[in-house]
C-alpha cells in the first residue's frame, strides 16, 4: 500500500507542471504565431494588440494546441474583420488579448482587456469575439 500512495503522489506532482516538450512547444510553435498575429492585427486594424499567453494555466501539450490555434485566429480573423472604420474601432478597443486554459471556451472583455479561455480542442469563435466587441 505504501508504494501505491508514493506512486500516486509522484504522478500528481509530475503532471501539474509543464515539462520540456511543453516549454519547447510554447517557444517554437506558439511564440512565433503570437508575434505574427500581433503584426497582422496591427496591419489590418491600425492599432497595436498585445497577445498574452497565460502559460501557467496550460499543463498538457494537447491543451496547448488550442492555444496556438486561438493565437492564429486573432491575426487571421482580426485582419478579415477590420475592413471598415466601424469594425476597426470595435477591434481597437482591445489593448491586451490574454489566452488561457479553463473549464470551457469563453470570451470576456472589460476595460481594454480581452480574455479567451480555451478548453481541450475548443476555443471561442471569432463571431463570439466580434459580437462582444461590437456592443
Instruction: Quick: pLDDT tens for 16-51.
Output: 446 888 889 999 999 999 999 999 999 999 999 999
Range of the domain at 91: 18-133
Question: What is the per-residue pLDDT for 18?
Answer: 63
Task: Going residue by residue through the chain, which has 135 residues, state the pLDDT in tens, using 9 for 90 and above.
Answer: 444 433 333 333 333 446 888 889 999 999 999 999 999 999 999 999 999 999 888 878 888 888 899 999 999 999 899 999 999 999 999 999 999 999 999 999 999 999 999 987 889 999 999 999 988
Q: How many structural domains comprise the chain?
A: 1
Question: What is the per-residue pLDDT for 99?
Answer: 95
Give the 3-state secondary structure of residue 135: coil
Per-residue CA distances from 127 to 41, 64, 80, 107, 116 (Å): 16, 22, 12, 11, 13
Residue 24 domain-assigned (yes or no) = yes
Residue 26 domain-assigned (yes or no) = yes
Residue 3 domain-assigned (yes or no) = no
Would you state the cell numbers that stand for residue 129, as one nine-digit string? 469575439
Question: What is the per-residue pLDDT for 87?
Answer: 94
Question: What is the per-residue pLDDT for 135?
Answer: 85
Residue 8 domain-assigned (yes or no) = no
Amino acid at each position: 500500500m505504501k508504494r501505491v500512495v508514493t506512486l500516486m503522489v509522484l504522478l500528481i506532482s509530475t503532471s501539474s507542471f509543464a515539462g520540456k516538450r511543453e516549454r519547447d512547444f510554447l517557444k517554437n510553435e506558439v511564440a512565433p504565431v503570437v508575434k505574427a498575429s500581433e503584426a497582422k492585427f496591427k496591419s489590418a486594424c491600425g492599432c497595436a494588440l498585445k497577445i498574452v499567453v497565460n502559460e501557467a494555466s496550460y499543463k498538457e501539450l494537447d491543451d496547448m494546441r488550442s492555444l496556438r490555434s486561438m493565437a492564429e485566429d486573432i491575426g487571421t480573423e482580426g485582419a478579415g474583420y477590420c475592413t471598415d472604420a466601424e469594425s476597426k474601432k470595435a477591434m481597437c478597443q482591445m489593448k491586451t488579448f490574454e489566452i488561457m486554459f479553463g473549464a470551457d471556451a469563453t470570451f470576456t472583455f472589460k476595460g481594454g482587456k480581452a480574455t479567451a479561455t480555451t478548453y481541450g480542442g475548443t476555443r471561442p469563435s471569432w463571431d463570439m469575439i466580434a459580437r462582444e466587441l461590437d456592443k
